[in-house]
Amino acid sequence: MSDTATRREHILVVDDDARIRQMLIRYFEGEGFRVSAASDGPAMRDCLAKAATDIILLDLVLPGGEDGLALARDIRSRSNIPIIMLTGRDDVIDRIVGLEIGADDYIAKPFHLREVLARVRSVLRRHQAPVARGDDETTENFCFDGWQLNVGRRRLLASDGSDVALTTGEFDMLCVLVKHAGRVLTRELLMDLTRSRNMEAYDRTIDAQVARLRKKIERDPKNPTLIQSVRNVGYVFSAKPTQE
């Protein structure tokens, strides 16, 4: 059996509460995951440098001058590792800011361990590419405005062939927009189609993901031509993708 087939998915828990770290370590190891833990930013970076990480459970409130939002911003500037934010704060703004930065999901404390497990598995499923099947005819490949979107391999290629890093949420959002090109999609429908209903989604989370996408695929994000706003309704993908 290959190393890939036997490899256990690696979770990094970043939380300053030792009881929560130990609880999550015991639970996820019991579910077959490999788990590392860190109490602050420096320890988190040390863990990330030592081993490949599949997903990060990141507490919002941390000691040492770097909170979870600052760490999420730092991670997202260098990596596409999925992030699930954990917080004891009941503050909508904090949740929105976390999602705007690029977190893939958000869970409020106190939480049920089975819910955390379900969220982790959901984000991992969305993030991980399926095994390539060569010239499988069912592989969806869309081209638009010089971009190439390979749905099966979860890759976005620029006109020069370079990979463009997208978060799980950004990729899902782009897929939905491209597959429904020319159709006006409400924010509520976008939440459903991108499976954002499994987290506490708000209109602004959809707007934030669209804004991040525009920065990556639009020639002028302030004057978008691909993803256009429809006032008081939602968004429409204006390009005409071709499918290969």
Output the pLDDT for position 199. 46
Q: What is the pTM of this model?
A: 0.63
CA–CA dist 187, 108 (Å, integer): 23
Contact at 8 Å (CB) between 186 and 232?
A: no
208 Cβ neighbours under 8 A, 6+ residues apart: 96, 99, 100
Total length of the chain: 244
Strands 147-150 and 155-157: antiparallel
Alpha carbon 14 to chain centroid distance? Answer: 17
CA–CA dist 223, 231 (Å, integer): 15
pLDDT in tens, the chain (244 residues): 334 445 689 999 999 999 999 999 999 999 999 999 999 999 999 999 998 999 999 998 888 788 888 899 889 888 888 999 888 766 666 666 666 677 888 888 888 999 999 989 988 887 765 444 444 444 689 999 999 999 888 889 999 989 898 888 888 899 999 999 999 998 888 887 776 544 444 557 788 889 989 999 999 999 999 999 998 889 999 999 998 7
Output the pLDDT for position 89. 63
DSSP state of 230: E
Output the pLDDT for position 41. 92
